[in-house]
Structure 1
Amino acid sequence: MPARQRLIIAITGATGAVYGVRLLQLLVDHPSIETHLLISDAGVLNLHQEMDLGRKEVEALAAVVHNVRDVGASIASGSFASAGMIVAPCSMKTLASIAHGLSDNLITRAADVVLKERRRLVLMVRETPFNLAHLRNMTSVTEMGGIIFPPLPGFYQRPQSIEQMVDHTLGRVLDLFSIQHELTPEWRGMKGN
C-alpha cells in the first residue's frame, strides 16, 4: 500500500458540482490522502454553470488527474491500491452504467473495479423525484456493496449557510472512509449530553 491512501473522486453531470469541488478543497493538503480525479464532459459543463469554474481550476486541486476516456489508466485495474471512490455528484446515467457494469468510460470502470475489489464506493446521487429505474439502479449498486449517499442537508446542526450544509454532508462522507476532519461536531443527542 502507498504511504498515502489513494482516493478516487469523480465529478459527473448531475447538479451539485460544489460537492466534488469542496471535497477536493478539503483533501488538497490532507497529509494522508492522495486524490485521483475524473471529470466527465457533462461535469465540466456543470462546473461552469454552477460555480463559474473551468476544468483546469478544479484539476489543480487533485494530486493526480485522469482522462475519463483513458480506460487503460492505473485506476482501471484492481492492482491499483485505493481506499475507494466517491462520485460527487453522481448523475443517473453514471449510476445506471455502474449498476449494469458497463465500464463505458474510466469513471464507471474505476467504480466497477472498486466494487469487484470490495472497496468502498460512495455515490452522491442527484435527481428528484426518483423514477423506478433510478430506484432499481440504486438497489443494484447497494446489493453490490456500494453506498448510495444523496447529498441531503441535515438541519439538526442548524446550519447558517449553504457552505455549512455542504461541509456537514461531506463530513459524513469522509466519516465513511475514516478520514479525520473537523467539519461536523459529533451528535450528542437532543439535550446535547
Structure 2
Amino acid sequence: MQEPYKLFELKYSFDALEPYIDARTVELHYAKHTKTYVDKANEALVGLQKPNITEAQAYELSKQLDDNVGGVLTHQLYFNCLTKSKETGGTGGVFPTSGPLFEAVKVRWGGFEGLKEALKKGGLSRFGSGWVFLHQDLSITTAPNQEWPRGKKPILGIDVWEHAYYLKYQNKRVEYLENIFYVIDWNYVESLFKS
C-alpha cells in the first residue's frame, strides 16, 4: 500500500514573503488550498484500496488522485522556490552572478532579464488558472489547473491561480508576476538545476 501524502513544512513563516506576498495569502494558500490537495489525494488512495470497487469508481478515484497529487507537487515546488526578499534580510530575488545557472541562462535567455520577461509572458499567457514552469533544460511551459509537467523536470513553478495573489493584487496578475521575483529563492532553483 502506498504511503499517504503529507503536507510538507514551510521553511519560513507566513509573513516572511511580505510585502510582496501577504501573510494571509500564504496562510490560506498553504494551510487551506495545499492541505486540501493532500487530503483529497489521500482520500482517493484509500478509495482505490477498497475491495470490489467498480471500474467506473476506479477511474474517478484515479482521476481524483492524479489531479490532487498534481496539486501537492506543484505547490511543494512553488513554496520551496520562495524565500524572504533581500530587502527584508533574506536571499529572495538574488539571481546568481556566476556559476552554472547564470551561464546557462545567459546562453539560453540572454541573461536574467530575458528569463524574467519570458516567465512573466508565460504567466500572463496562461488563460484562467494554472502554472508557469521553468525546467532544468531552461525551457518554459505553462499548464492548466494542477497539471504537473510530464517528461520535464521543473525547477521553478509560479502559481498563476488567483488564490496565489488575489487578496493583495486582486485581478492584477501582471503586478503579482513582477513582484514574485523579489522572493524567488534562486539558490534553491539552482540546486534543482544542478541535480
Larger Rg: 2
More strand by share: 1
TM-score range for the pair, normalised by the shorter chain length: under 0.3
| Structure of greater relative contact order (alpha carbons < 8 Å, 6+ residues apart) | 2
TM-score normalised by structure 1 residue count: 0.27
More helix by share: 2
